[in-house]
Chains A and B, each alone.
Chain A
Amino acid sequence: MQLNNKATVASALAGAACALLGTPAAQAEEGMLKDWQFDTAILYYGETDRVSLAEGVINATKTNDDDSIFNVKLVLDTLTGASANGAVAQPYAQTFSRPSGKDGYVVNAGETPLDDTFRDTRVQVSGSWMQPFADTWRATGAVNVSTEYDYLSLGLSGLLEKDLFMRNTTLSAGLSFQFDSIDPVGGTPDALTSMLVPTYLGDDNDEGEDEFEWDDDYEEGENKTGSESKTTTDLILGVTQVINRRMLMQFNYGLSVVDGYMTDPYKLLSVVDNAGMTQDIIYEGRPDSRTKHSFFWQTKYALDNAVVDVSYRFATDDWDIDSHTIDSRFRFNLGDNDYIQPHLRYYQQSAAEFYRPFLNQADPLPMYASADYRVGEMTAYTLGLKYGHKMENGHEWAVRAEYYQQDPKNAGFDEPGVLADLDLYPSVKAVILQFNYHF
C-alpha cells in the first residue's frame, strides 16, 4: 500500500513536471485519474410565471487502496424570476415597495402579488472523507460551505457506522451542525411592522418605466436592521437491514433543532377589513426556535431486470407542521446498457400554527404570523421519467424530465367580502429537466 501511495505521488509529481515542461502528460494524467469517479449534472427548474433555476453539479469521488473514500462536490446555481410575496390578491391594482426600499412594483387587479426582483447566484462546495476501521466500522467527516448574495451557510458533520451479523445489519449515528447568516437586501425588516409603500405615478416617462414617489418623511432603511443568523443541530440514528437476497431496508430517525432567525425577510401579509379590502401591508414574523422529528423508511427490491425503490417519511415539529412524503422510483433495465425509470412522489403537509393567509384588522395582532404558502396546508406531487444509457467506454449518461405541482389549500380560514371571489391559493406548476454524465 505504501508503495502504491508513493507511486501515486510520483505520478502526480511526474504529471506536474510534464505540465511545467510542456511535454505530453496524458500518461501521467491517466494514472492520477483512474481512481476517480465523476458525476456531473445540469438541471433546469422552471415554474409557470414564477421562479426559474439553472443548476450545475460536479461530484468527484476517489476510492483509495484502504477503501477510504474522498468526495468533493461543487454546486453552482442561478435563480431568476418572481416569488409570491405573501399578500392577498385584491379587486384593484396594488403597489408594493421592493426589498431594497428604493423602488416599487405594481400588481394587477385579481392577481396573486408576485415580487419579480429575485435574482441570485449560489456557490456550494462540500467535501467528505470516509474511513473504514477495525474491520466493521466506518467514520465519515464532512464540511459544507454555501454562499449567495444575501446568505452564507457553513456546516460540519460526522457519521459513524457499524456493520453487524455478516454485514447484514448496519447501525449508524450522525451529528451535524450548521451556521447560517442572512443579510437581506435593504436590511432585515422588524416583524409585523408596516411596509412603507410608495405612490405609483404611472409610466409616462420616456423609457416607459414605472415611476414611484415616496412620502417626504420617508427614510430608506426605516423599520429595518442589519444581518441575522440561525444555527441548526441535527442528529440522525439509522438501521439498515438486508432482508433477503432481493430486499434491503433502512429506517432513520432524525432530530433537528433550529435556533435563530427563521423569518423570510421578503415575505409580507395583508391586513384586511370586514369587506376583505387591504388596509395595511406588514412584514411577516416567525418563531425563533423549531424542533423537528422525522421518521424515514426506505425499501429497495431487486427483480431480475428491475429495481423498486419506495420510501416514506413522516415529519412533525413544534410549529404544528406534520408532513407525509411517499417517494418511489421503478427502474426497468432494457438490456445490459439501457434503463428507463418512472418516478412518483406525493407530499402532504399541514399548516404551521402561525400561518395566516391574511390578518383581520378587527383582531388583535398575533405574536407571529406568516402568509407564506410554503408553511400553509398543501399537497404536492411529482411525475417523472428518466432514461439512462451506458456507453461502450463505460461512461454513462441519463436524461430526466419531471412535472411538479403544488396545490395549497385553505386550512379553514373564512374569506371575508371580496376575498371570497379571489383565488387565494393558486397552484404552482413546475417543470424539471436534467442531464447527467458519469465517467
Chain B
Amino acid sequence: MKRKFLAFVALAGVLQLSGCASLGVQPWERDLLAKDEMALGAEGVDLGLDDHIYFSKEATSGGRSFAGGGCGCN
C-alpha cells in the first residue's frame, strides 16, 4: 500500500514538473499581462494606505512586502 502511495506521489511530482515546462508565455503573448492593472503592485498608494490602517488595527503585518515598524499608531 505504502509503495503504491509513493509511486503515486512520484508520478504526481513528475507530472507537476512537466507541467512547469509549459508555464509562461512568449514575449509576443504579453498583451494582457502588460496592462497597468495586471502589475502585482498596481494601486500602490491604496495598498500603502491599507497597510497603514491594518498595521495599526491588527496584530499581523507585511506578507506582500516588509512587515516593518513605522508608527506608534493607536
Contacts and interface: CB of A to CB of B under 8 A. Distances in A.
Interface of A: 39-41, 43, 45, 51, 55, 57, 59, 73, 75, 77, 79, 83, 118, 120, 122, 124, 144, 146, 148, 150-151, 153, 155, 157, 165-169, 174, 176, 178, 180, 182, 230, 232, 234, 236, 240-246, 248, 250, 252, 254, 256, 258, 264, 266, 292, 294-296, 298, 300, 302, 307, 311, 313, 315, 319, 321, 323, 325, 331, 339, 347, 349, 352, 374-375, 378, 380, 386, 400, 404, 406, 428, 432, 434, 436
A40 B44 CA distance: 11
B18 to A, nearest CB: 15
B16 interface: no
Contact of B62 (A294, A311, A386): A294
A244 B33 CA distance: 9
B66 A254 contact: yes
B68 A243 contact: no
Contacts of B32: 245-246, 302
18 contacts: A39-B44, A168-B24, A178-B69, A242-B25, A245-B29, A245-B30, A245-B31, A248-B33, A254-B67, A294-B60, A302-B35, A315-B62, A323-B58, A347-B54, A374-B57, A400-B46, A404-B53, A434-B46
Contact of A153 (B54, B70, B74): B70
Contact of A241 (B23, B63, B67, B69): B23
Contacts of A254: 62-63, 66-67
Nearest to A183: B72
A434 B32 CA distance: 28
A315 B24 contact: no
A323 B54 CA distance: 13
Question: B44, B45, B64, B72: which has the most chain A beta carbons within 10 Å?
Answer: B72
A214 B60 CA distance: 39
A325 B72 CA distance: 23
Nearest to B35: A302
B38 A234 contact: no
Given A244-B23, A331-B37, A234 B68 contact: yes
A436 B45 contact: yes
Nearest to B53: A45
B74 A148 contact: no
Contacts of A349: 58-60
Given A296-B64, A325-B63, A144 B49 contact: no
